[in-house]
Amino acid sequence: MTEKTEFIAPYIIFSAPSGAGKTTIVKRLLARYPQLAVSISATTRPIRPGEQDGLDYIFMDKESFEQAISRGEFLEYEQVHGNYYGTLKKSVQNLREQGYTVVFDIDVKGALSIKKTFNESMLIFIKPPSTEVLIDRLKGRKSEDEATLKKRLQRLEFEYSFMDRFDHVVINDDIEETISTVEGLIIKKNE
């Protein structure tokens, strides 16, 4: 791989059900390609062990998030599993001004909202090989109680209903194969 990899789109948007491997894929791509930078979402959900504010998410309390909404600071936002998630306009603008291809790791509705704003975006849906595998992955996180797990599974059908609106659907059965497939989709080929 050359040092100056070119990407097909200025915005690459990943969406998936919780536990499908989307965040792992995004982190691996960011580590391999210095021209990529992730748009860090803001959220009101509690911080998980090992996460860092400003690196994994911008953690906000509900009142601050709602004030930012009223000031029009979000490109998109959603309430998912009882928590707000959103993309701050300024964060994306700063990354593009610095010359990065911006990568998003967001829910399906957020992905489609960003595609409306940035038509030249590429949408990639990461799908688990089966519901059983997804359940195993979520349980393996050890951060999901039964109620949260149930909520995530109830949302699965809703998320799958948007797959046909994505440019690509990639089944994540093997992380290395999935990353290779994604690289084939996002990297501009030299003619």
148 marked as binding residue: no
Does residue 5 belong to any structural domain of this protein? Answer: no
User: What is the count of structural domains for the chain?
Assistant: 1
Q: What is the pLDDT of residues 55-89, one digit of tens each?
A: 889 999 999 999 999 999 999 998 877 899 999 99
- Sites in the chain below the pLDDT cut of 50: 1-2
Q: 20: annotated binding-site residue?
A: yes
Q: Tell whether 39 is in a known binding site.
A: no
Write down the pLDDT at residue 142: 65
In which element (H, E) is residue 103 found?
strand 101-105
Residues 176-184: contacts with CB under 8 Å, at least 24 apart: 178/21, 178/25, 178/126, 179/25, 179/28, 179/29, 182/25, 182/29, 182/124, 183/29
**Is 9 annotated in some ligand binding site?**
no
> Does 161 appear as a known binding residue?
no
Check whether 68 is labelled as a binding-site residue: no
At 137 the pLDDT is: 73
pLDDT computed for residue 154 by the predictor? 81
Q: Which domain holds residue 102?
A: 11-186
Please report whether residue 129 resides in a domain. yes
Mean pLDDT of the chain: 91
For residue 141, what pLDDT is reported? 67
Portion of the chain with pLDDT greater than 90, in percent: 71
> Residue 16 falls within a domain, yes or no?
yes
In a domain, 80, yes or no: yes
Give residue 129's pLDDT: 86
CATH number of 89's domain: 3.40.50.300
184 in a labelled binding site: no
6 occurs within a structural domain: no
Residue 191 maps to a domain: no
User: Is residue 1 one of the residues assigned to a domain?
Assistant: no
